[in-house]
């Protein structure tokens, strides 16, 4: 009896020593990322709140101005900012279109067509290309005098078009971003369609359903979690859009002025280095995005865990 | 007689189905080829224009009459491109390799070790995913400029990434959870410390996930434009590839055909990487879903 309890005690002691060293190793393992997040995420986050309450140009000491910038954003002077948000929401049309294109291509690529992998590669490659380079490439495509788009119109005897003027630029950018961005959504759809049980389709076949019916009654409802996920991340992506707009139009015509581009400009020399205002705008934009991300995170949790 | 009727009944819909299938196939291929052409034509015109002469590039001739392969040599000789390439690789290799390793280390901590506050730390890390980079952009610039005194150096684009990333860590965590634990237990009984277990047993098993993340992070970092623009945008000698081609584009300092040649060069690394590691990219996208 006594011997037994002694043994148990020893084992417990061993366990607890292991527990302590394990805990130490645990903190050691986790600390690099934790420190990185504290230094380069948490610290700037809190600092950003402080800067947004001051007038600050980087060189002179910040002057505390309270909620002045927020008041400005939410007053008539904030029109510029809300316009840019509106412009970003217009780009959501592109998200919808690329979602539809992604679903259609994914659906076709899940049937037994030849050259599946080649098509998949072609559709996906633009999404891993440098957006600066692809934007320059498309700017050239849209060029009034030498652009390929106008050359093609010419072949069909149609008039040349200024693709980057105020009336056309939004459509031109949406066309480009849909075509060069739907590849990611396509891959998500392909993996989702592949996980639909074959028996559903076989049952539909027995009932005499045609391909269109099968698409709308089986495929579309089955991939709806992915659809929702793509919509929300697409919306967030639209609100964070920057490179394409900065490289292609740099914010003029005014309907291509995006929130991040505006924030970038306010922290530059041209707009008077108003770091306070830029920070306040960033925080308002960030809150909008954070709320959308939060909703997405909660609702897509199911899907994320199922996949992994 | 009965059999015949049944035969006709069976064969009729079959024929219809077959005809429908053929039409469906034709539509499918037409659709795929049309989309593929819409994607390939811009690439084709970029390559063709990059090989035109200085006069011809300013005309609407589609196919070059004379091929100027020298444009590519000129890009390396006359512009900051080569220098920018070296810069880019110097900036992104440390954060990609070290950062991915740190993410793996952190993931190991969460997957295998018990310590007080683990759940809270993990929750806090996952919560940072909600914070959009936009909020950090301006204050981080101010901090790098005034507190760290890092402006004019590449440190703002190198150092933060070296601590690892939350998305990458989460991916690694999912991977470690699929590995069997008994080998680690056995090694611990043989007297190996936790650090030894990670280096000698767990990390070698994680190599596939590590390589996949390195490839994905590399292509992400290589294509990143906003971060280097913010922190290095004022000093040409610190330029990355993305900044270099954008400057050639906006300043009209370089002839069009050379700018376009520079774009082809800038596009090459990630496309080559994709062709070599196609599976990694497609699987990485479907696993992490994003980013």
Size of interface A-B (CB pairs under 8 A): 286
Max distance between CA atoms of chain A, in angstroms, equals 102
Q: Out of A26, A51, A109, name the one closest to residue B115 (CB).
A: A26
The answer to whether B137 contacts A263, with C-beta atoms less than 8 Å apart, is yes
From chain A, the residues in CB contact with B164 under 8 A are 32-33, 36
On chain A, the residues whose CB falls within 8 A of the CB of B195 are 25, 28
User: What pLDDT is stored for residue A4 in this prediction?
Assistant: 45
Q: Give chain B positions within 8 Å (CB) of A279.
A: 138-139
Residue of B nearest to A32 (CA): B163
Phi then psi for residue A63, to 5 deg, are -110, 125
Residue to substitute from B32, B48, B162, B167, interface A, most A β-carbons within 10 A: B32
C-beta neighbour count of B101 within 10 angstroms: 19
Q: What is the dihedral of CA A109, A114, A116, A121, to 10 degrees?
A: -140
Helix (H, G, I), strand (E, B) or coil at B198: helix
Burial classification of residue A57, based on how many CB atoms lie within 10 Å of its CB (0-12 exposed, 13-18 middle, 19 or more buried): middle
What's the fold here for domain B76-288?
Answer: MetI-like fold (1.10.3720)
Most distant CA atoms of chain B, gap in Å? 96
Rounded to 10 degrees, what is the CA torsion of A218, A221, A222, A225? Answer: 170
The confidence score (pLDDT) of residue A3 equals 45
Nearest to B19, CA basis, from A211, A104, A108: A211
Highest mean pLDDT out of A243-252, B125-134, B227-236 = A243-252
Highest mean pLDDT among A168-177, A270-279, B140-149: A168-177
pLDDT tier at B62, thresholds 50, 70, 90:
confident
User: A36 vs B115: CB contact, 8 Å cut-off?
Assistant: no
The alpha carbon of A251 is separated from its chain's Cα centroid by a whole number of angstroms, namely 20
Please tell me the distance from the alpha carbon of residue B50 to that of residue B266, in angstroms, as a whole number. Answer: 13
Chain B residues with beta carbon closer than 8 angstroms to that of A172:
none
Cβ A300 vs Cβ A224: under 8 Å: no
In whole angstroms, give the CA distance from residue B228 to residue B243.
7
B266: nearest CB among A58, A133, A148: A133
Neighbouring C-beta atoms of residue A100, cutoff 10 Å:
14
Of the given ranges (A240-254, B18-32, B89-103), which has the lowest mean pLDDT? B18-32
Listed in sequence order, the residues at least 6 apart from B118 whose beta carbon sits closer than 8 Å to its beta carbon are A26, A30, B110
Residue of A nearest to B262 (CA): A133
A223 contact residues in B (CB cutoff 8 A) = none
Nearest to A44 among B38, B46, B140 (CB): B140
The single residue listed with the structure tokens 């006359």 is B78
Kindly report, residue by residue over A208-246, the tens digit of the pLDDT: 888 889 999 999 988 988 888 888 889 989 999 999 999
Q: In this structure, are residues A133 and B266 in contact, taking their beta carbons and an 8 Å threshold?
A: yes
Q: Extract the tokens encoding A163.
A: 């693709």
- pLDDT-based confidence at residue A300 (cuts at 50, 70, 90): low
Check residue B278 and give its pLDDT: 86
How far is CA B123 from each of CA A304, B31, B112, rounded to the nearest angstrom? 16, 45, 17
Q: Does A286 reach chain B within 8 Å, measured CB to CB?
A: yes
pLDDT class for A57, splitting at 50, 70, 90?
confident
Indicate the residue of B32, B135, B263 with minimum beta-carbon distance to A133. Answer: B263
Query: Mean pLDDT lowest for which of A57-66, A148-157, B3-12?
Result: B3-12
Coil vs helix vs strand at B289: coil
More confident residue, A271 or B1: A271
Closest residue to B139, CB basis, from A33, A47, A211: A47
Which residues in A261-273 are b (16+ Cβ under 10 Å) and which e?
bbbbbbbeeeeeb
Of A129, A138, A297, the CB nearest to B270: A129
Judged by average pLDDT, the poorest of A39-43, A238-242, B147-151 is: B147-151
Instruction: Look at A32 and B163 and tell me if their CB atoms are within 8 Å.
Output: yes
Q: What is the pLDDT of residues A76-115, one digit of tens each?
A: 888 999 999 999 999 999 999 999 999 999 999 998 889 9
Across the interface, whether the CB atoms of A260 and B62 are under 8 A apart is answered: no
Q: Which residues of B touch A267 (CB under 8 A)?
A: 137-138, 141
Residue B245 pLDDT exceeds 90: yes
With a CB-CB cutoff of 8 Å, which residues 229-258 of chain A face chain B?
Answer: 229, 233, 236, 240, 242-243, 247, 250
CA angle B78, B82, B85 (to 5 degrees): 145
Taking the C-alpha atoms of residue A227 and residue A192, their distance in angstroms, rounded to an integer, is 10
Q: Which of A63-72, A116-125, A293-302, B240-249 has the lowest mean pLDDT?
A: A293-302
- Looking at residues B245-262, what average pLDDT do you find? 88
Chain B residues close to A105, C-beta within 8 Å = 31-32, 35
User: What are the DSSP calls for chain A, one per residue?
Assistant: -HHHHHHHHHHHHHHHHHHHHHHHHHHHHHHHHHHHHIIIIIHHHHHHHHHTTEE--SSSPPEE-TTHHHHHHTSGGGHHHHHHHHHHHHTHHHHHHHHHHHHHHHHHHTS--TTHHHHHHHHHGGGGS-HHHHHHHHHHHT-TTT-HHHHHHHHTTPPP--TTSTTTHHHHHHHHHHHHHHHHHHHHHHHHHHTS-HHHHHHHHHTT--HHHHIIIIIHHHTHHHHHHHHHHHHHHHHT--HHHHHHTTT-SGGG--HHHHHHHHTSGGGT--HHHHHHHHHHHHHHHHHHHHHHHHHHHHHHHHH-
pLDDT value at A297 more than 80: no
Measured between CA atoms, the residue of chain A closest to residue B189 is A18
Residue B113 is given by DSSP the state -
Residue B160 near residue B95, CB atoms below 8 Å: yes
Answer yes or no: is the ipTM higher than 0.90.
Answer: no
Residue A121 near residue B36 (C-beta atoms within 8 A): no
- Is pLDDT of A140 > 60? yes
* Domain residue limits, chain B: 2-50, 76-288
State the Cα–Cα distance between residues B190 and B182, nearest whole angstrom. Answer: 12
Q: What angle do CA A306, A236, A135 make, to 5 degrees?
A: 115
- Cβ contact (<8 Å) for B132 and A289? yes
Give the mean model confidence (pLDDT) for residues B103-113: 95
Kindly tell me if the per-residue pLDDT of A202 is higher than 70: yes
């Amino acid at each position: 009896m006594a011997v037994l309890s002694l043994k148990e005690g020893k084992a417990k002691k061993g366990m607890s020593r292991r527990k302590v060293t394990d805990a130490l190793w645990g903190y050691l393992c986790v600390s690099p990322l934790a420190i990185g997040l504290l230094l380069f995420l948490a610290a700037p986050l809190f600092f950003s709140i402080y800067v947004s309450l001051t007038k600050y140009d980087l060189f002179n000491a910040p002057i505390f101005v309270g909620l002045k910038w927020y008041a400005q954003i939410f007053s008539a002077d904030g029109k510029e900012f809300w316009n840019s948000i509106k412009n970003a929401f217009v780009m959501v049309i592109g998200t919808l279109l690329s979602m539809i294109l992604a679903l259609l291509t994914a659906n076709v690529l899940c049937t037994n067509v030849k050259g599946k992998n080649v098509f998949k590669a072609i559709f996906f490659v633009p999404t891993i290309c440098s957006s600066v380079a692809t934007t320059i490439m498309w700017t050239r495509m849209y060029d009034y005098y030498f652009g390929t788009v106008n050359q093609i119109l010419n072949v069909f005897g149609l008039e040349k078009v200024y693709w980057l003027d105020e009336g056309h630029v939004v459509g031109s950018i949406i066309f480009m971003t849909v075509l060069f961005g739907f590849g990611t959504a396509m891959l998500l759809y392909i993996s989702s369609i592949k996980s639909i049980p074959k028996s559903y389709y076989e049952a539909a076949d027995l009932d005499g359903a045609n391909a269109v019916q099968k698409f709308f009654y089986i495929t579309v409802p089955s991939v709806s979690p992915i659809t929702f996920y793509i919509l929300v991340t697409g919306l967030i992506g639209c609100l964070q859009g920057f490179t394409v707009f900065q490289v292609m139009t740099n914010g003029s015509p005014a309907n291509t002025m995006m929130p991040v581009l505006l924030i970038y400009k306010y922290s530059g020399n041209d707009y008077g280095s108003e770091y306070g205002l830029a920070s306040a705008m960033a925080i308002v934009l960030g809150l909008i995005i954070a709320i959308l991300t939060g909703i997405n995170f909660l609702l897509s949790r199911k899907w994320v865990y199922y996949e992994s | 007689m009965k059999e015949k009727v049944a035969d006709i009944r069976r064969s009729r819909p079959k024929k219809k189905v077959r005809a429908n299938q053929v039409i469906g196939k034709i539509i499918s291929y037409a659709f795929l080829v049309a989309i593929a052409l819409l994607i390939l034509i811009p690439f084709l015109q970029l390559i063709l224009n990059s090989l035109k002469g200085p006069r011809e590039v300013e005309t609407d001739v589609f196919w070059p009459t004379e091929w100027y392969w020298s444009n590519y040599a000129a890009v390396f000789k006359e512009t900051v491109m080569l220098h920018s390439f070296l810069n880019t690789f110097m900036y992104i290799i440390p954060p990609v390799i070290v950062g991915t390793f740190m993410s793996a280390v952190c993931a190991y901590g969460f997957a295998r070790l018990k310590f007080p506050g683990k759940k809270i730390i993990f929750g806090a890390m996952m919560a940072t995913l909600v914070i959009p980079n936009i909020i950090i952009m301006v204050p981080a610039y101010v901090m790098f400029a005034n507190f760290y005194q890092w402006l004019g150096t590449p440190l703002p684009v190198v150092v933060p990434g070296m601590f690892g990333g939350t998305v990458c860590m989460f991916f690694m965590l999912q991977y470690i959870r699929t590995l069997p634990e008994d080998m680690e237990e056995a090694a611990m009984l043989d007297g190996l410390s936790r650090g030894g277990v990670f280096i000698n047993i767990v990390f070698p098993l994680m190599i596939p996930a590590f390589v996949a993340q390195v490839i994905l992070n590399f292509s992400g970092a290589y294509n990143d434009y906003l971060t280097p623009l913010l922190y290095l945008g004022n000093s040409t000698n610190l330029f990355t590839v993305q900044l270099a081609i954008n400057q050639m584009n906006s300043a009209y300092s370089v002839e069009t055909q050379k700018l376009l040649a520079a774009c082809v060069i800038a596009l090459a690394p990630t496309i080559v990487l994709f062709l070599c590691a196609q599976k990694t990219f497609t699987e990485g996208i479907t696993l992490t879903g994003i980013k």
